[in-house]
Amino acid sequence: MPRSDSPANKPRRISWDAVRVVAVFSVMLGHITHQGPLAHPELDDYPFRITAQYGAAGLMVVSGFFVCQTIRRGHTRRWLWRKVARLLPPYLAAVVATYLVMRMAGAAFNGQGFGEGWWDLLFGPTSDGQAWISSWYVPVGWDLLVNVFMIQGWHNGFIWLDGSYWTLPVQLMIFAGAALLWSRARRLCTGRGVEWLAWAMIAGPLVLRFWILGVYNQSPWAFALVNGFGLHRMHAFAAGIGIWLWSRDRIGGRHLALLLVAAVCAQDLHLYPEHVALPGDPARLPSDLGFAVMLITICAAAKGPDWTFLRPIAPLITWLAGISYGVYLLHQELGYLLAKALLDAGFTGWIRLPIVIAAAVGLGWLLTEAVERPAFQRLTTGRRASATPAARGPQDDFLPGRPGPAHISVGDRS
């Protein structure tokens, strides 16, 4: 039987679900009201614009925290397989769905057609051979392959079907790296080495990108090195490691504060590398402040009392947290396409905004129920049967779509 202090017997904490929901919805609102109009100027009539970009970074901080929290339980290979089994199936389903809708809707918006036969309809170029006659790109089969295999970050000529997809390869690399470190260099993870690792994850990419490579280095190999390996996102995971160390009383508050200040500075530089010589640029302030507030909020969730004042709406928060990975995967590009269709039908930004949000939530729920949860159960049934009770707590795994906190990421620069 599980011990009384095992994760399975600990009461559910609302705070982690709330952090996740706030972060995901901040990403969604930023994409709908800010990134969408930047990519498609005709959509620029929403009642407000959220320019702060911090939600995805905040979710990666929480992901880093829960990597430290959960990797110590059970077998490392099983831990990594559960991550892959949770993330990959809904991602692949989202890629295929987004590709098909983007292809058909983009051609319709552009007044284009396709050649004869099912191959031309699904994978071939448009009948006029043009993919960019407007801001509505019509993808081809090569774009589908690039996104399925998650290699978009390795060449600046590759097309992201959805800007939110950048988080998947980065997170999978982090999970694989954590599993390798824990299984091969456990002494590093249990001693002071993990503190040095967190600092290296912040400082190393900055030195490489802004000193060794140079901020204006636009060569394909430099792009692949930084974006392919997700080096410009490592500071967020490092902040999660630091918060976990602090919550376990392995570093003090001053050490944590210094680490988080460094993480905010790294976030600022990586988000706005073109403004590296303009430290006073006010356009950066909302993102910097938002990320700083998110870090403080995560600290409160990690070590403070549970947020019991949210109990009256706890079922709603838990439900939204459980489907947030699906919402994240389907809200951005499909949301732009829906907004365009609504605009063509005469709907103003005031009306489009709640419709697009509701559609994202509905599609996220559908993807969670139809793909994510059944695929995860099918892929992990044999492994779960032999899992130790300590590895199966309700909030021991920061994974999407499951009751409890979950990982996540999110698109463009957020």
Q: What is the pLDDT of residues 263-290, one digit of tens each?
A: 999 999 988 776 554 555 667 889 999 9
Question: What tokens appear for 138 in the block?
Answer: 């019509």
The pTM of this model reads 0.88
What mean pLDDT, rounded, does the chain reach? Answer: 86
pLDDT tens by residue, 239-257: 999 999 999 999 999 999 9
pLDDT class for 410, splitting at 50, 70, 90?
very low
Confidence at residue 115, expressed as pLDDT on a 0 to 100 scale: 86
Whether residue 155 has pLDDT greater than 80: yes
Confidence at residue 175, expressed as pLDDT on a 0 to 100 scale: 95
Confidence at residue 384, expressed as pLDDT on a 0 to 100 scale: 46
**Residue 215 φ/ψ, nearest 5 degrees:** -65, -25
The DSSP result for 388-401, as a single string, is -GGG--TTS---TT
Which residues have C-beta within 8 Å of that of residue 136, sequence separation ≥ 6?
40, 105, 106, 109, 110, 337, 340
Confidence at residue 3, expressed as pLDDT on a 0 to 100 scale: 39
* Rounded distance between C-alpha atoms, residue 319 and residue 114, angstroms: 41
Confidence at residue 339, expressed as pLDDT on a 0 to 100 scale: 97
Higher pLDDT, 393 or 302: 302
Contact 331, 31 (CB under 8 A): yes
Query: Rg of the chain over CA atoms, in angstroms?
Result: 21
Confidence at residue 191, expressed as pLDDT on a 0 to 100 scale: 63
pLDDT class for 400, splitting at 50, 70, 90?
very low
- For the residues 205-211, what does the mean pLDDT come to? 91
* Rounded distance between C-alpha atoms, residue 219 and residue 252, angstroms: 41
Which residues have C-beta within 8 Å of that of residue 19, sequence separation ≥ 6?
58, 62, 297, 298, 301, 405
* Rounded distance between C-alpha atoms, residue 105 and residue 143, angstroms: 16
Confidence at residue 99, expressed as pLDDT on a 0 to 100 scale: 98
* Rounded distance between C-alpha atoms, residue 31 and residue 38, angstroms: 9
Each residue of 249-271: b (16+ CB within 10 Å) or e? eebeeeebeebbebbbebbbbbb
CA distances from 79 to 16, 211, 355, 381 (A): 20, 37, 38, 13
The distance of Cα 5 from the centroid of its chain, to the nearest Å, equals: 31
Contact 168, 150 (CB under 8 A): yes
- For the residues 205-224, what does the mean pLDDT come to? 86
Question: In the chain, what percentage of residues exceed pLDDT 90?
Answer: 68
Contact 272, 281 (CB under 8 A): yes
DSSP state of 311: G
Query: Distance between terminal CA atoms of the chain?
Result: 43
* Rounded distance between C-alpha atoms, residue 166 and residue 251, angstroms: 31
Whether residue 364 has pLDDT greater than 50: yes
Which residues have C-beta within 8 Å of that of residue 269, sequence separation ≥ 6?
206, 210, 276
CA distances from 394 to 151, 169, 328, 404 (A): 33, 26, 22, 6
pLDDT tens by residue, 170-203: 999 999 999 988 877 665 566 678 899 999 999 9
- For the residues 86-100, what does the mean pLDDT come to? 97
Question: What tokens appear for 406 in the block?
Answer: 């979950």
* Rounded distance between C-alpha atoms, residue 341 and residue 346, angstroms: 9
The distance of Cα 160 from the centroid of its chain, to the nearest Å, equals: 14
Cross-strand partners of 126: 114
Amino acid at 412: D
DSSP state of 149: T
Question: What tokens appear for 293 in the block?
Answer: 């507030």
Confidence at residue 280, expressed as pLDDT on a 0 to 100 scale: 54
Cross-strand partners of 114: 126
Confidence at residue 393, expressed as pLDDT on a 0 to 100 scale: 35
Whether residue 411 has pLDDT greater than 60: no
pLDDT class for 142, splitting at 50, 70, 90?
very high
Which residues have C-beta within 8 Å of that of residue 356, sequence separation ≥ 6?
32, 331, 335, 338, 339, 342
Domain extent listing, the chain: 11-47+61-124+134-391
Question: What tokens appear for 299 in the block?
Answer: 């600290």
Confidence at residue 276, expressed as pLDDT on a 0 to 100 scale: 54
Higher pLDDT, 386 or 199: 199
CA distances from 228 to 61, 146, 154, 201, 308 (A): 20, 13, 5, 16, 41
CB atoms within 10 A of CB 309: 8
Whether residue 318 has pLDDT greater than 50: yes
**83: nearest Cα among 411, 388, 383:** 383
Confidence at residue 218, expressed as pLDDT on a 0 to 100 scale: 77
CA distances from 279 to 116, 233, 295 (A): 55, 20, 21
Which range among 13-27, 285-299, 318-332, 370-384 shows the weakest confidence by mean pLDDT? 370-384
Which range among 24-33, 183-192, 208-217 shows the weakest confidence by mean pLDDT? 183-192
Which range among 28-37, 89-98, 263-272 shows the weakest confidence by mean pLDDT? 263-272
Contact 244, 65 (CB under 8 A): yes
